[in-house]
Structures are given as structure tokens and as C-alpha cells.
Structure 1
Amino acid sequence: MFLYIAKLLFSSTLVVSLATTAFSQPVRLIVRSDDMGFTHAANEAMIETYQNGITTSIEVMVPTPWFPEAVTILREYPDLDVGVHLTLTSEWENIKWRPLTSVPSLTDDRGYFHPMIWPNENYGDDQALSTQDWKLAEVEQELRAQIELAKREIPQLTHVTGHMGCSHLDERIEAVVRKLTEEYGLAIFPEDLGVKRAQYQGSKETAEEKISSFIAMLEGLTPGTYLFVDHPAYDTPEVQAVHHIGYTHVAADRQGVTDLLTSEKVKEAIRRFNIQLIDYADLVQ
């Protein structure tokens, strides 16, 4: 009888100990703001979400027209975690960008990047990079140039990511990206480190819905490390003029993201749920 009670007590203690250990592990969250450089309003909004909000990492697109301003801004925040958002597409209808190098297999007949990586119901084979006769050597040439320019201009770079999934277009391109990140000291890949994607839990049409759905997501996170990605900007005439087929409410939508990332309700929820905000560099420390 004594032995049975002793085993029962040991078992109960072990369960409590394991449960305590599990729940004592932190919930860590990277909040990544993408597409710096595509407009002036995006540049300003991203810095606001870092200064007054919860953004911990910003991704900058090197070939974009507002990249020089992005460089000026980012140099003022040397502790801000920054990634090169490798770019092989130019998706908007009223604003376009070209590659940094001569890579004709990656561009349309006007010299711009194609709008899409993969065909969809709005953009067919002729406007998607994946269906073109792209050359791997030209992909590497262009991505190398983007990384080198970003490293020269932005000292605090820690990693690279792929705009519109361009780095996952083909396994050969993935291999090139990994080779370049090793070469330039930017090899931080969250997917290799067990980081999970965090996504809105609910509707996200309006700013209020985004905030509610984001807090619902926070509430459901279990111990571990997560990555949340979205695209802040301001609802200004500049961004109101930017759109592509299938996505016409860009300015209002991205203003909603800015509102979410600077929301006092969201910041209070992060404190209440004891969530640790981290950046890419923290993953390898």
C-alpha cells in the first residue's frame, strides 16, 4: 500500500513538473513588416510601427524607387533588424521597377520584372516569371547585386527573405539563395529553426477586424517561436494610386495593418499573454 501511494505521488509530481516546464517556456514572436521601398508612405509607416508599435524586423526591397529613402531612414535606427527582401517581380499597375543588372530572361518586353511569380486567374502565363525561360545564372547575378547593394548601404542587415515567394520558385533558386546567404553572412532561415507561422484568426477586412483577429491569434499561441508577416503603409493619395488586378484596396488595407501594429489593445494583449517580441538575430543568439 505504501509503495502504491509513493508511486502515485511520484507520478503526480512528475505530471505537475512536466506541465510547469511546458508552460514556463516562452512564447516568442517575430513581427515582420515587408516591402519597405515600394512607396514613401510604406517607408514612413514601417518606421512608425517599429518606433511606436510591435514591428521587430523590416524587409527592404532594393530595386524599388523609394529604396534610397529607406536607406536614409534605416541608418537612423542601427539596432533595427533588417532583411533584404529579394525581388524578382514588379506587381503593381501604376508603379514599376527594373532589375539592377542586365537580366533579360527575368523581364518583360518593357524591361520591368514580371508582375507575378506564378500564373493566377488575373495574370496569365505571359505575366508570370515561373513560365518564362528564366536563366539561373541571371537569377544569381541579380540577387547577388541586390544583396551587395543592401549590405553596402545598410550595415545592420541580418538575413534575406523572398518577395512574393521568389526564393521558392525552384529548388535551384533556393540553393542559390542559401549559397548567397552563407557567402554574405545572412543565413538565418526561421523554417530551419522550428519557427512556426502565426496568422490572423478571423476576418481581416478592416483595421478593427485585423486587431481582433490578431489578438485571437495571440491568445491561441502555445510555447514556441512564431513569425507574423504583414505590410504596413498609410492611406495616402500615393498608395491609393497603387493596385493590381484582384487587389484594389491597397491603401485602406495597409493602413489597417499600420493601425494593428501600433494598436494599444494589441500591445496590452502581448503584455497580458506574456509574449516575448524578438527579431531574426535573436534566433541565432
Structure 2
Amino acid sequence: MLQLQQLGYRSDDRLLIINADDFGLTQGTNEAIIHLLEKRAATSTSLMMPCPSSSDAISRSILHGHHQVGIHLTLTSDAKQSYAPVHREKPLHSLTQPDGTFHTNCTQLERHAELDDVRVELEAQIVEALAKGIEITHLDSHAGSVLGLHTGRDFLEIVFELCVKYQLPFNLPRRIVEQPFFSAQQLRLFRTRLLAAQERGILTIDDMIALPYCFQPEADYRRMKLQLVEMIRMVKPGITQLTVHPSLATDSLRTVTDCSKEREFEHQLMQDDDVRQLLRSEGIKLTAWRDIRDLQRSL
């Protein structure tokens, strides 16, 4: 289990990873994330290898010297944008629809995916990122597609095999077992998997926070800022990830999501002087998945 003292902090320190998810979604998303990394308004990012703009994301990362990036393991398409497997040597029929793209429904994935197909595709996403010059910092999961959230059939044992093989931490917060909205069966599964990760030497973090992804009826910057401020104030000792989905508001973004305004606002919020001052006044220290990966590889 990761202890703060192993990273050089006190046991009561509050550390925050600001992770920009969905790197590779659109070129406007890539531009926004690189901008935040340059300003250290984000400290990590997670790359979706099956996305059409993933190559653009990798090119920007290497150009700007931010080639240490996590992999946002992707096994499902989004509602308004389809993705196909990175692995192309053979069809992965259990993961895809007749047109060769991933299911949009996690339930379909959990019910029909063959474990060998899952293993092949997830490793292909890792291998291709490495081949293109990415120094991977961690693994996490797009839409929770490996967590078994819908039917209870998860793919975490496969993910843990890859974490061991490539010496990577995984984003499964330990305080997930304190969440009241999971069933007793799901909580038992998470406890079992967290213990399995610990036994294999895979480092995990303590907690994860995020703004609601889609506000109804409409996103409002002031309301989002108030919610973010409250979440930051409530951060507990340990390592917490603040998950954000920043992007520039482009026509491309609007074609792939109905929540483009939230992504635009999150890009702005991470640069908001009040938010950055709050992090300082709360004594919250910023860290990155790279630091956790390097610790895991040193143990």
C-alpha cells in the first residue's frame, strides 16, 4: 500500500493529482490539455488510443516534452463517436458490433467479451503508445469499462497482469469501498481487487473526485466553480485525483458530446485564479502519476 512518507510527505498531507481525461478525443481537447500541462494547471493526463485524434495527441505531447502520459484503457465507444480496436491482426468479435466498432453499452461488453480479446486489445493500446514514444505513467479506465459496474463481471485481473508486466500503477481509489451508491456485491469485488493489487505491488491512490459530467438543464460556470471549490476543501489526507475533461469548444467537440460546455468550463476552471489560490491556501500539494509510477518501480 502506498504511504505518503514513501514520496517524502507527512502522513497528514493532502496531495492532489489533476488528471485531464480523454486526451485524444479531438484536436481541441488535445490543445487544451497540453495548455494545462504547460501551466501545471493539470499534472497528468490519460490518452485514449482508439480515438481518431490520438496520433495528434502523441505528436503534441512529444513536441512539448509531455511524453509521460497515462493510458485511458478504452473498450467502449461513446454515444456520439465510435471507436475501433487498436489491435488489427485479427478481429475481436466479442468486443465489437457488426461494423467493427466497440459497443456503446458497457453491459454488452461485460456480458459478451472474451477474456483473451480483452487482454489482446488492452495490451495493444499500451504497446502502440510505447512504440510511438509515450512513457506511460499509469493505467485507468474509460467509462469504467473494466470495473464491472453493470453486471459485476470485471476485467481487473487482466489489467493487473498488465500493470505488473509494464510496472504501472492503476487508478482504483481505495476509498471506492466507502461509496454508498455501490451495491454490497460491488463493494466486495472492489475490496477483493484492491487486496489483489496490493499483493502484486501495484500502487493505487486514496480517492478520486470529479464534477458531474453533464449539468441539467444547462452548464453554469459559477455553479460548477462553487462545486469544485467545495470538493477541494473536502479533500482528505492522502493522494486524491481530481478528474477533469478539459477541451476547447470546437465544432468537432460538439459533434462528439452533448456536454461540450462542461468541458470548456473545466478548461477555464483549472486556470481560474480563485481555484489556484484555494489550492495554495488549503495547503494542498500537487503531484502526478509519474511520481507514483517511479516509486512503484523503485520498490
The TM-score by the shorter chain falls in which range?
Answer: 0.7 to 0.9
Match for residue 82 of structure 2?
A: 96
| Alpha-carbon shift at residue 226 of structure 1 (Å) | 1.0
Match for residue 163 of structure 1?
A: 142
1:106 paired with 2:115, answer: no
| Alpha-carbon shift at residue 171 of structure 1 (Å) | 5.7
Match for residue 136 of structure 1?
A: 115
1:256 aligned to which of 265, 277, 299? 265
- 1:211-261 CA distance string (max 9 Å, x none): 221112222223322111121112111111223xxxx2x211110111111
Q: Report % sequence identity.
A: 26
SS in 2 for 1:83: strand
| Alpha-carbon shift at residue 188 of structure 1 (Å) | 4.2
1:236 aligned to which of 250, 253, 256? 250
Verify the 8 A CA contact 2:83 2:102 in the aligned structure 1. yes
- 1:50-90 CA distance string (max 9 Å, x none): 22352111000111100110110111344564101111111
Match for residue 165 of structure 2?
A: 183
Pairing 1:27-176 to 2, within 5 Å after superposition: 27-52=14-39, 54-78=41-65, 81-93=68-80, 95-101=81-87, 102-118=91-107, 128-131=108-111, 133-169=112-148, 173-176=155-158
- 1:28-63 CA distance string (max 9 Å, x none): 101111111111111111112222352111000111
Supply the distance in 2 between the matched residues of 1:268 and 1:187 (Cα, whole angstroms): 30
Verify the 8 A CA contact 1:158 1:188 in the aligned structure 2. no
Verify the 8 A CA contact 1:53 1:261 in the aligned structure 2. no
Aligned residues: 246
TM-score normalized by the length of structure 1:
0.79
Are the structure 2 counterparts of residues 237 and 260 from structure 1 closer, same or farther at C-alpha, using a change threshold of 3 Å?
Answer: same
Supply the distance in 1 between the matched residues of 2:211 and 2:74 (Cα, whole angstroms): 25
| Alpha-carbon shift at residue 174 of structure 1 (Å) | 0.7
Match for residue 283 of structure 2?
A: 274
* Counterpart amino acid of residue 42 in structure 2: T
Q: Any stretches of 5+ residues in structure 1 without a counterpart? A: 1-22, 119-127
Are the structure 2 counterparts of residues 68 and 26 from structure 1 closer, same or farther at C-alpha, using a change threshold of 3 Å?
Answer: same
* Counterpart amino acid of residue 90 in structure 1: S
Verify the 8 A CA contact 1:27 1:274 in the aligned structure 2. yes
* Counterpart amino acid of residue 274 in structure 1: G
Match for residue 6 of structure 2?
A: none
Match for residue 3 of structure 2?
A: none
| Alpha-carbon shift at residue 140 of structure 1 (Å) | 0.6
* Counterpart amino acid of residue 180 in structure 1: L
SS in 2 for 1:100: coil
* Counterpart amino acid of residue 263 in structure 1: D
Verify the 8 A CA contact 2:58 2:134 in the aligned structure 1. no
SS in 2 for 1:45: helix
Are the structure 2 counterparts of residues 241 and 188 from structure 1 closer, same or farther at C-alpha, using a change threshold of 3 Å?
Answer: closer
SS in 2 for 1:46: helix
| Alpha-carbon shift at residue 184 of structure 1 (Å) | 1.6
| Alpha-carbon shift at residue 150 of structure 1 (Å) | 0.9
* Counterpart amino acid of residue 58 in structure 1: T
Aligned-CA RMSD value: 2.3
| Alpha-carbon shift at residue 168 of structure 1 (Å) | 1.2
| Alpha-carbon shift at residue 199 of structure 1 (Å) | 4.0
Match for residue 216 of structure 1?
A: 230
TM-score normalized by the length of structure 2:
0.75
Are the structure 2 counterparts of residues 222 and 84 from structure 1 closer, same or farther at C-alpha, using a change threshold of 3 Å?
Answer: closer
Are the structure 2 counterparts of residues 267 and 279 from structure 1 closer, same or farther at C-alpha, using a change threshold of 3 Å?
Answer: same
